[in-house]
Amino acid sequence: MELSHVSRGTTQSSEKPVIGVLLVHGLNGSRRDLEELEMMLQDRGMVTNNMLLPGHGVHVREMLSLGWHHWADAVRDELNALKQRCDVVFLVGHSLGGALILHIAAHEDVAGIVTMCAPLHMHPLTHFAVRIAKHFVPLVPTIREDVRDPDARRRYTRDVYHWTPMRPVESMLQFLPTLRAELPQVNAPALIMTSLHDHVVPARDGREIYRHIGSKEKHLVTFHHSYHVIMKDYDREEVFSKTTAFILRHASKAKPHTVKNTDRTAS
């Protein structure tokens, strides 16, 4: 576990909560995916944990035996650790990370969630292709990230993965019906981002999350210039500003979390 912290987060007055933000990247992603957003949140005095999902940051074959439940357990563990240091904690997730934070928010107390292009159904052909491919090849080549901005494609280089593991993808797809059933259990304020030209997760998934999530306060933002990886694409500045504004707005209204250990650990 790696926590990033800036000094302003520890010197806030007693009237202001210590804000924690857990950032969760997508499948085949890395900490670099949400690095710029993390820096912006730190500049506003927040405690951040830009976590690395199990099986990532190493050779892609290390992921073949892992799946949804390993990732969900890791997100829950990092959330509980961050709660030990912060008054209120927000979850931010892209793609698979967005689905994971929806699942966690259905069962854990959080101050708010921000999902970016989170899957709920995926494209029908994706399910068919994964079911067939897993019987023949464990890994499928990844051509490039789904980014529209050509300058961004050159600026952001993939660190590790040029292959996508099929069985971990299947584990996510198999859990999506359960996730759909859990949406009414999510009651934290929610900012749901989707992209009209996303080639990985259809925009209708975001609209369905918005319709069925149990949150009384929820916001749907649809971007029209980016593809799937919106935090690296044409709309990235708006992604950053809307996320930051959402967290700051709801942090002042959120009730401090109750933690099992009343003495917050220092690290």
DSSP 115-143: EES--SS--HHHHHHHHHHTTT-SEEE--
140: number of Cβ within 10 Å: 16
**135 versus 217: which is more confidently predicted?**
217
144, containing H or E segment = none
* Ranges 65-69, 137-141, 169-173, 221-225: which has the least confidence: 137-141
Confidence band (pLDDT; 50, 70, 90) for 188? very high
Percent of the chain at pLDDT > 90 equals 65
Residue scoring higher pLDDT (10 or 52): 52
* Placement of tokens 């576990």 in the chain: 1
Does pLDDT of 13 surpass 90? Answer: no
Give the span between the Cα atoms of 235 and 5, in whole angstroms: 26
Lowest mean pLDDT among 176-185, 237-246, 253-262: 253-262
Neighbours of 202 (CB within 10 A): 21
Confidence label for 263 from pLDDT (cuts 50, 70 and 90)? very low
pLDDT at residue 143, rounded to an integer: 62
At 95-147, the pLDDT tens digits run 999 999 999 999 999 999 999 999 999 766 665 555 665 555 555 556 678 88
Distance CA 95, CA 115 (A): 8
Give the tokens for residue 181. 């059933």
The domains of the chain, with CATH numbers, are 7-251 (3.40.50.1820)
- 134's torsion region: left (phi>0), alpha (psi -120 to 50) or beta? alpha
* Per-position b or e across 212-251, b if 16+ CB within 10 A of its CB: ebebeebeebebeebbbbbbbbbbbeebbebbbebbeebb
- CA distances (Å), origin 36, targets 61, 218, 241: 28, 24, 11
- pLDDT band for position 266 (cuts 50, 70, 90): very low
pLDDT digits (tens, 9 = 90+) for 146-186: 889 999 888 876 554 566 777 888 899 999 999 999 999 99
**pLDDT for 161:** 57
Beta-strand runs (E) in 117-260: 139-141, 163-165, 190-195, 218-223
Distance (Å, whole) CA 120 – CA 204: 9
Average pLDDT across the chain, whole number: 86
- Could you tell me if 106 and 182 are in contact, meaning their C-beta atoms sit under 8 angstroms apart? yes
